[in-house]
A and B are shown apart, each in its own frame.
Chain A
Amino acid sequence: MKARTLGRHFRESFKSIGRNGWMTFASVSAVTVTLLLVGVFVVIMMNLSKVADDLEKDVEIKVMVELTADEAARATLEEEITNISGVAEILYSPKEEELNDLVMDFGEDLRLFEQENPLHNVFYAKAVNPQETEAVALAIDELDNTFEVKYGKGKIEKLFSFLNTSRNVGLVLIIALLFTAMFLISNTIRITIVARRRDIEIMKLVGATNWFIRIPFVLEGIWLGILGAIIPITLVTFLYYKIYHMLSPKLEQGKLFELLEFSPFIYQVNALILLMAVFIGIWGSFMSVRKFLKV
């Protein structure tokens, strides 16, 4: 194919968008609705996943050291915990620090315990895979010089099962959404096909090759896809901007979890929407001309 023919295909595809008034409108609308749904959903799912990760990361194992353990025994215990496979990090907090934390939380009255500190020295450990916290905790409990090992039994399991369920539900919803989108778009394509059937037949009778017919249609599909991406990208960006700036200050106080930062997250989502738009456009136009190229 000559370069000027490619130029001709570009011009032709733009012209066709203008001249196909209502068909352009119908296709762009279908793409807009689809991408808006996908965009909103991706933002929700990604944030849910982020929240889940944040919550998981907060899961710690509290290892209280036996009161009788001396400095050497404590060092041995630290090393033994570190050597357990599946332990990610370990943090030592001597009993003075523990008391300090209590004073912070419950008031100066507790300072009177400073003379005779009844608390244990503590190791805080985290599992590499938070879902294996229980197994790691049990392994630590086996070691010498541990007084008690706590990890929020029960509560954690519930959290994990909640997070896993919501991930699965999200996956199912995304698949359902994709089917809806395909239905919506293939319906639009079916309308387009009827309108194009005769045109394609004529083009072939005048001596056009399949690619000569196909390329302008595919280019037109890409432009329609991009046009259909404008509203979703604008709306998703605007809404996330609003929600992010409304919720973030409150979540920062709570310290439990945070939303994904506006940048670069929203730009990645926008890139995804645009990519899908182009893909839908190419796929759609291929489908709508495929059947009639055999004349």
Chain B
Amino acid sequence: MIEMINVYKKYPNGIVAANGINVEIEQGEFLYVVGPSGAGKSTFIKMMYREERPTSGEIIINGTNLAKLKASRVPYLRRQIGVVFQDFKLLPKLNVYENVAYALEVIEEAPSVIRTRVMEVLELVGLKHKARMFPTELSGGEQQRVSIARSIVNTPKLVIADEPTGNLDPETSWEIMNIFEEINARGTTIIMATHNREIVNTIKHRVIAIEGGLITRDDARGDYGYEG
């Protein structure tokens, strides 16, 4: 479902963050992306939902070639992909319910469908009782769960997360991981950049390591692999 062929990314400041990446990811996989800071993990992920464009190479997602995608089509690409951010990216003026509903309002879903779907995913992430609260009234872990709820509410086939546990304490991180496991069990592809050795080594999945903009390792059921 995802294919990258010879992907290069050079930022305007001259830094090369992707230096010829080739990878194939099947529907339903759970993929960890590991590597040191500045290795190019975020860039790898951002190119999948077109927050960044590759300088050269092909990125094909669900049959769409992102290199050829017009700017006006980008919103439609993003609706097929749920994205979970390290800093949550919730709209501060909207409450929990409204933040999640936003992803369905953009696709002009019927209000009755919105109501049931939003309550379903809030139930899944365990925040049904805080639906009327605003992001500032929530803990980091709760905000991240809202962000996850928003990313899956329109049932995308692919969910991408960039260090979703990076700002959370260990216990909360495990809770978040359980949610991702459950989403993955329903057949959704998950791609997750992470620095969390314990998680990667405990919940085993395919691991790719990125260093200096290159994939240096790709193990079907791998370990975190770095000492430290």
List residues of A whose CB falls within 8 A of some B CB.
1-2, 4-5, 8, 16, 19-20, 199, 201-209, 212, 294-295
Contact = CB atoms under 8 A, between A and B. Distances in A.
Interface stretch (B34-42, B85-93, B119-127, B138-146): B85-93
A9 to B, nearest CB: 9
A17 B66 CA distance: 38
Contacts, number: 53
Closest CB pairs A-B (n = 3)? A207-B78, A207-B79, A209-B75
B108 A2 contact: yes
Interface string B60-90: 0000000000011001101100010100011
B81 to A, nearest CB: 8
A2 B114 CA distance: 15
Given A199-B91, A199-B93, A212 B106 contact: yes
A207 B90 contact: no
B105 interface: yes
B143 to A, nearest CB: 13
Interface in B134-174: 150
B49 interface: yes
Contact of A204 (B75, B85, B103): B75
Given A19-B93, A204-B78, 10 more contacts: A2-B108, A4-B110, A5-B105, A201-B89, A203-B106, A207-B78, A207-B79, A209-B75, A212-B105, A212-B106
B107 interface: yes
B51 interface: yes
B184 to A, nearest CB: 21
Contact of A206 (B71, B106, B108): B106
A209 B110 CA distance: 18
Most buried by B among A16, A19, A206, A295: A206
B51 A205 contact: yes
A206 B90 contact: no
Contacts of A208: 75, 102, 106
Contacts of B83: 205-206
Contact of A202 (B91, B105, B110): B91
Most buried by A among B75, B89, B108: B75
A92 B10 CA distance: 92
Nearest to A212: B106
Contact of B111 (A4, A212, A295): A4
Contacts of A212: 75, 105-106
Most buried by A among B49, B108, B150: B108
A205 B89 contact: yes
Contacts of A203: 91, 102, 106
Contacts of B78: 204-207
A8 B109 CA distance: 11
A217 to B, nearest CB: 12
Nearest to B151: A206
Nearest to B71: A294
A205 B106 CA distance: 11
